[in-house]
Copies of this chain bind each other. A is one copy, B any other.
Amino acid sequence: MDDSVRRHKYMLTEDEMPTTWYNVIPDLPSPPPPPLHPGRMDPVGPDDLTPLFPMDLILQEVSGERYIDIPGGVLDVYRQWRPSPLFRAHRLEKALGTPARIYYKYEGVSPAGSHKTNTSVPQAYYNKKEGTTRLTTETGAGQWGTALSFACALYGIDCEVWQVGASYDSKPYRRLMIEAFGGRVHRSPSDVTDVGRGFAADPKNWPGSLGIAISEAVEVAAKDPNTRYALGSVLNHVLLHQTIIGQEALLQMQMAGDTPTLIVGCTGGGSNFAGLSFPFLREKLAGRMDPRILAVEPASCPSLTRGVYAYDFGDTAGMTPLLKMHTLGHDFIPDPIHAGGLRYHGMAPLISHVYELGLMDAIAVPQTECFAAAVQFARTEGIVPAPEPTHALAAAIREALKAKETGEETVILTALCGHGHFDLAAYDAYLNGSMVDEEVSDARFAEALETLPQVVG
């Protein structure tokens, strides 16, 4: 038994919490390509977006400012659970027998149990300021729906959530959590929207997808002037709000007296990954440190490693602006894997751009390897991770074992973006041996890419 005094977590005080979000765009060698209007095929302007988003968020979406002030009202809410802890994984390191030092930034302490509240709170705040009385959204695993429901409860806004059918069926507690905070949940595809009824006509769409759920939520918001839409990932302003994670982690790594050589995060839409890594990317671009930045995606939905970089719709019905991103095609319906939050056909345009610039790497990992990592993590570190960040944990463990071979003192920093309390059916499947890794055929990827929109120029 180890009786030594060692630090497990690095905590900042409320006073030390960053008061600005960090926008990486002005620090990049070139800006990302703009979103295009789906009809006109020219860059969208603020007026195109006002039916869906309040002006403050639209301005953040296109901002060239390096730092954007976090409003006092948002800071006040953040301070309930932020700054979030940075943990040193002493017991996992010991179990692996690695000389690597592993740190994880844990966002599961938030009201919704994930990083999603970092953006749901400002989104609800700005909507309230502009008089929005209802917000609609999609949710996959349910983390985002929970986060938005919580934020809407704080500001007295009605919240309506379309949850991907496969997750709705397999994670009933997620729906109940959204309802406990006061939100209303529809199984997507639903019968309350035109697009939902359209997709539901074909049984292949019954498990749903984030793309379909987005179409439903957008349709409802577009029809009602007092209703707006909130997106939980992908867009610049969402990634911006998440940068509080990495800014805190920078300060906490300084407290720990360590500099990461590898930053690893899971990617679905990309907001958690961007939130952790962009502040470190700033340091890398400025030559102050040189970490490898690694995105980890599920083998069954690998937009960065097997998609194409092209303009595509953000949703399945083709109602959103066209985004230049790594995409598997907006028609791609991923297998119903347990990491519901990573089942998105595209990657955030800003991350796609950073990837194209060669500033980061990406790999894809099959889900059984992720759950093996998750169980080892739970039994040593005591936190049962959500299925999404288990992808990053699996990659971190690969690297830690590599360090054991080479003897290198790799310093790994990863984002544990949420707990898995609502995902235990997935652990059950893994522990009882019924979880499998489905191979996705090249033909299936190729087929989904056939319907990419044609963009001239």
Contacts and interface: CB of A to CB of B under 8 A. Distances in A.
Range of interface residues on A (Cβ < 8 Å): 35 or more
Contacts of A72: 2-5
Contacts of A75: 5
Interface stretch (A178-186, A296-304, A307-315, A438-446): A178-186
A13 interface: yes
A359 interface: no
Count the copies.
2
A6 interface: yes
Interface in A1-22: 1-9, 11, 13-14
A256 interface: no
Contacts of A422: 173, 421
Interface stretch (A24-32, A286-294, A378-386, A391-399): A378-386
Contacts of A91: 154
Contacts of A14: 7-9
A71, A73, A177, A424 — most chain B CB neighbours (10 Å): A424
A111 interface: yes
Given A2-B73, A11-B13, A428-B179, A113 B375 contact: no
Contacts of A111: 382-383
A122 B427 CA distance: 27
A207 to B, nearest CB: 22
Given A8-B14, A11-B11, A428-B176, A3 B73 contact: yes
Interface of A: 1-9, 11, 13-14, 71-73, 75-76, 79-81, 87, 91, 109-113, 125, 128-129, 150, 153-155, 173, 176-177, 179-182, 375, 378-384, 421-422, 424-425, 427-428, 431
What are the 10 closest A-B residue pairs judged by CB atoms, nearest first? A111-B382, A3-B72, A176-B424, A1-B73, A421-B421, A153-B379, A8-B80, A173-B424, A180-B427, A8-B79
Given A1-B73, A4-B72, A6-B76, 14 more contacts: A2-B72, A2-B73, A11-B11, A113-B421, A153-B378, A173-B173, A173-B421, A176-B424, A179-B427, A180-B375, A180-B384, A180-B431, A181-B378, A421-B421
